[in-house]
Chains A and B, each alone.
Chain A
Amino acid sequence: MKIKRSLGERIFDAANCLFLTTILFCTLYPCWYVLMASMSDPNLVQDAKGIVFYPLKFGLYSYIDVLKYSQLWISYRNTVFYVIFGGIWSVSLTMFAAFALSRRNLPGKNGILMFIMITMYFSGGLIPTYLVIKGIGLLDNPLVMMLPGVAAANLIITLSYFRSMPYELEESAKIDGANDYTVLFRIMIPLAKPIIAVISLYYMVAIWNNYFTGLIYLKTRSLFPLQMILREILIQNSTAEISMQTDSAQAYAENVKYAVIVVSTVPILCVYPFLQRFFIKGVMIGAIKG
């Protein structure tokens, strides 16, 4: 059944596309700027006052600096490891907990939720947390990069999603004799693909970008994640200026900032399209009928 689109609708569509395209360019330009600046002479970039469409005095010096840096590839490997295993762990735990909390027949669910929410707001601070982690023996241990598993915010989003799924699903399954695990794994999770995709993305990006945990808790260089190494590269020579000499790497320091962003972001950008199809296509919850 083809519904003819009225003139008003067509105008709307056109305006919409125009608007979205504008936003597209507004967000694309600074990313393009970063990419171009990473390949240009930093002094010329400063001079350009913000208008850079192509590399000024093309050169890959900062990339060479970054990619040649000792430990970079090891740290890449480390981060991939942390992201995959940490991501699986976090997503799983979040799904389980959100599912449990969304079930109406769980006594004390509000109390447990409150218990978790409070941690979003109140924290003992760095020193007490450090002492606890040290006490458990997680210092300088790769697990520390993956362990603190569930982010309350992600839990809330998933919880909300589960709550909005029709109760009939669980009801009919339970009538057929299913227990809670079956409901979770056979019914809910397959239908929750969009939200799984979203929180997977959130967790993976968070672990990927995380440098602070490693900074505080890791001492062995071979365990360092990518972001820590990149940070090191960035702060070359920004420390105590106690003599007249600075390293010539300082001359390209500006440049290196941009190259670092490119190097650390490109992998994530590659992962995203895979997750995207889970929430662009649209999932049918038509499973209710029949």
Chain B
Amino acid sequence: MKKAIAAVVALSLTAVMAGCGKDVSLESEGKNGKGYPDELSIWCTVNTNLTAGGAKDLNDNLFFQYMEEQTGTHVNWTHPSASSAEQNFNLMIASGVFSDMIVSDWSSKYQKEDMDALILPLGDLIEDNMPNLTKYLKENPDMKKQFVADSGEVFYIPIIREDKELCVYLGPQIRKDWLDKLGLEIPRTTDELYNVLKAFKTRNPNGGDGKDIKPMTGTGFAKNAAFDIGNLLWPFGAHYDFYLDGGEVKYGIMEPEFEEGLKYIRKLYAENLIDPDFLLNDRTKIEARVINNQVGFISGYQPTALQTSMDDGVRAVVGIPHLSGPNGGRKCFYKNYEEMVLNKISIAVSTACKDSGGALKWLDKIFGEPGLTYANWGREGVSYEVVDGKPRWTDYVMKNSEGRTPKVMRTISTLSGVETFPTIVQFEPYVQQLGSWGREAIPVWTDTADTSGIYPPAVSFTEQEAADIADVMSTVTTYMQESVTKIILGTEGIESLAAVRERIRGLGIDRIIKIYDDAYARYQKR
């Protein structure tokens, strides 16, 4: 009951403020009266780094404290639990009571029927109220293309990454110390990888009896996860999902290159070069095997334990160039590499917001100076200091006296560290915190990845298209995974591939490829 009264008071105050003149001046630092709402309610998840850092909600974050000081706007946060975020989102809609601004995966939602009852179109509002963002988008039209709707309207503002290298955080890695021990070179092609894996298996680089060595490990096929065994298809120019080839959309298993790649994986598995339990693996198990000296090659995230201990020369898990196949190409299909705009985490303004202009004005502070620096670095003197004209993290962040990790400290000091709220993420603050191997791996991966085949993650489907895709693909994907896994394991021969393709064709894959084609064409035209 009390909460209801508070909400009503807040809303009416906001309404009053909205009435009192919307100031459209540029860069106005200042308190109320300059167009910022008195109160804002924002719905967004946070990851538990925040509470680990001792914060109750985002108002304890240094950046948002700065925001409140500068604008006088008090934010009432609603933080649903991350694990049930989707459910809580649906319940919020069902209840009919919306926060002023909502952070969610809007790219998959804004096309649903009647969404205009929930969120406002932002195109004009941004022009009128967000000079910083407007300027930024004019200078970077490619960014705008990634989150604008096919119709040209804007419904949400996502996380924007300034630098391509921010998107490259996974790739092939190998135990350099094992290579050195066995006198081998870093493998650059699939054939070289085969030889290296064989050497790992037969020559006991971990000093043991070799029985527990799994030269390569990963997770089940076509799960679209980081450590997917299917990533071995890529040097052959094949993939297990939808991809682009010369502007045309293709579906992995239907293409001829798929067979080559599959034969390769099958061979590796048959000769025990792949972890026999790969079907049961998840990230934790994989990391454990790497740390326990059992694995030589993985393709995915850097093991957690090695991210902070930079001097662990014992297990030198080093990033290597993306492999090339017999035809030379170095294709890489990690969707993340192309995600300079993270649509999954975007903010929209709901129809319940009484002062949408003011809310966006408030938001705009993040996109221009000095807000942008604070968003990425936190507070000068507390979380960062300027040394020789360049910002550097302080010990408060890097070597926190209470033993908290840099990542936790970043989460409570900066906006970009929160990772669940839109902002422009800069590269420098991020890279300064990385361990040495991680830092070295990024340019290696970026330079050697041919990402031209990646189907843009920013493409959006209409509601009907999404329903059709779900209808067909839920069956196709399951079937494809099952059949290919059997071929890899050797339960079925490679000849069965033809029958599998036939069945998938019969399930309606061509219709779905056409949908992907159409959606892509619309994306191009934005």
Contacts and interface: CB of A to CB of B under 8 A. Distances in A.
Given A46-B288, A244-B434, A251-B304, A235 B82 contact: yes
Interface string A103-147: 000000000000000000000001100110010010010000000
Contacts of B84: 215-216
Contacts of A126: 87, 91
Nearest to A243: B169
Given A70-B51, A236-B48, A249-B52, A130 B292 contact: no
Interface in A16-35: none
Contacts of A43: 287-288, 291-292, 305
A255 B221 CA distance: 27
Contacts of A42: 284, 288
Interface string A242-264: 11111111110110000000000
Contacts of B52: 236, 247, 249
Interface string B1-31: 1010000000000000000000000000000
B145 interface: no
B82 A239 contact: yes
Q: Provide the main secondary structure of the chain A interface.
A: helix
A216 B88 contact: yes
Contacts, number: 118
B289 A46 contact: yes
A245 B407 contact: yes
A233 B305 contact: no
Given A70-B51, A235-B48, A253-B284, A244 B302 contact: yes
A41 to B, nearest CB: 10
Nearest to B51: A70
B49 interface: yes
A9 interface: no
Given A46-B285, A47-B288, A219-B78, A131 B405 contact: no
B438 interface: yes
A137 B54 CA distance: 31
Contacts of B301: 241, 244, 246
A194 to B, nearest CB: 38
A237 B48 contact: yes
Nearest to A232: B48
A247 B405 contact: yes
Nearest to B342: A242
Nearest to A140: B3
A43 B438 CA distance: 21
A247 B49 contact: yes
Contacts of B169: 242-244
Q: Provide the main secondary structure of the chain B interface.
A: helix
B47 A237 contact: yes
Contacts of B95: 130-131, 134
A246 B306 CA distance: 10
Contacts of A44: 292
A221 interface: yes
Contact of A242 (B56, B284, B419): B419
Contacts of A240: 47, 344-345, 419-420
Interface residues of B, number: 54
Interface in B297-318: 301-302, 304-305, 307-308
A236 B434 contact: no
Contact of A248 (B166, B289, B304): B304
Given A46-B285, A130-B94, A216-B87, A250 B82 contact: no
Interface in B42-61: 45, 47-49, 51-52, 54, 56
B42 to A, nearest CB: 14
Contacts of A137: 1
B423 to A, nearest CB: 12
Interface in B310-364: 336, 342, 344-345
Contacts of A134: 95
Contacts of A241: 226, 301
Interface string A36-49: 00000011101100
B262 to A, nearest CB: 28
A231 B83 CA distance: 9
A218 B277 CA distance: 41
B304 A246 contact: yes
Interface string B271-289: 0000000000000110111
B496 interface: no
Interface of B: 1, 3, 45, 47-49, 51-52, 54, 56, 78, 81-84, 87-88, 90-91, 94-95, 159, 166, 169-170, 226, 284-285, 287-289, 291-292, 301-302, 304-305, 307-308, 336, 342, 344-345, 405-408, 419-420, 430, 433-434, 438, 442
6 contacts: A71-B51, A130-B94, A215-B81, A239-B47, A245-B406, A246-B301
Given A216-B91, A237-B48, A244-B302, 13 more contacts: A42-B284, A44-B292, A126-B87, A127-B91, A130-B94, A130-B95, A140-B3, A239-B45, A240-B344, A240-B420, A242-B169, A244-B169, A245-B407
Closest 10 pairs between A and B when the two form their complex, measured CB to CB? A46-B288, A244-B169, A236-B48, A250-B304, A43-B291, A47-B292, A239-B82, A239-B47, A43-B288, A127-B94
